[in-house]
Amino acid sequence: MGRNAMNASDLFWVDLVPYIYQQPHLNAKQDIDQITNLLSLAPQSRILDVACGIGRHALECAQKGFFVTAYDINSSLIDENQRKSRDRNLDIEWLQANMTEFCRPESYDAIINLFFSFGYSEHPETDQQVLKKCYQSLRPGGKLVMQLMGRELIEKWFQPKYWSLEQDGAFVLVEKQLNYEKALLHETVYVLKDNDKKKYQMTTRIHYASQISELLQNTGFKQLQIFGGLSGTSYNENASSLVIVGQKPLKINAMIRC
């Protein structure tokens, strides 16, 4: 998820870490292995992890020998990620930064934006701004891979309310509202633990595959590919997520300025 969400405090991303990221189906090593194949990444490529969260993908990229920069808007998560990389003796550049502002012209061979970390602004044009910064930061020929929960999938699986009993004894209730007109998904999470009840809220903008493709094309990305997962499966009713890959053209006529 993105760390730049409208109506979501930093506590959302800190307090809910045990319930967001500890799901058994999540496998960061497998994700990066699949992305390496999907993008045909050369050894020692330079990777930028946009909205890196708890850093699990950045750590795996560094473990594979890539040169990694990873940023997130949440300073608490960045501090914790720095500790993790020291413990694993991995050299990663961790930064606190906003995805609408961070840009290093033509610095990276690949940019990864994973685990539904997009659409976190109340202004639709901000999505284009984020993609522009990614485009500017890529070297000619570099690729961007985004993993989203496509609107097609959300509408198919939409469940307004569900709950779970977590391993630490917490009772977690999630309520969702989908604003079809504005393409906004509102989520409220209640955590009841040890007679203490906490409430967290966030809102994200969702996109159809055709819409995110248009945004990438308008930014300048070419050779777009759409998949139903990081393994490269088809985007259909059986897809686990919406994965889209775009490439920055090899020949850029204008000088890039951020």
pLDDT in tens, 110-160: 999 999 999 998 789 999 999 999 999 999 999 999 999 999 999 999 999
CA distance 111 to 141: 12
DSSP state of 6: B
- Decide if pLDDT at 4 tops 50: no
CATH of the domain spanning 154-204, picked from 2.20.25, 2.60.120, 1.10.3470, 2.40.50: 2.20.25
The structure tokens 């055709």 sit at 210
User: Would you state the pLDDT for residue 130?
Assistant: 97
- Decide if pLDDT at 248 tops 70: yes
- Decide if pLDDT at 9 tops 60: no
Q: Domain 10-150+207-247 belongs to what topology?
A: Rossmann fold (3.40.50)
How large is the greatest C-alpha to C-alpha distance in the chain, in angstroms? 62
Query: Which pairs count as long-range contacts for 158-162, CB under 8 Å and 24+ apart, including other chains?
Result: none
User: Would you state the pLDDT for residue 6?
Assistant: 39
Q: Where in the chain is the domain with CATH 2.20.25?
A: 154-204
Cβ contact 122:90 at 8 Å: no
Q: Where in the chain is the domain with CATH 3.40.50.150?
A: 10-150+207-247
CA distance 88 to 72: 20
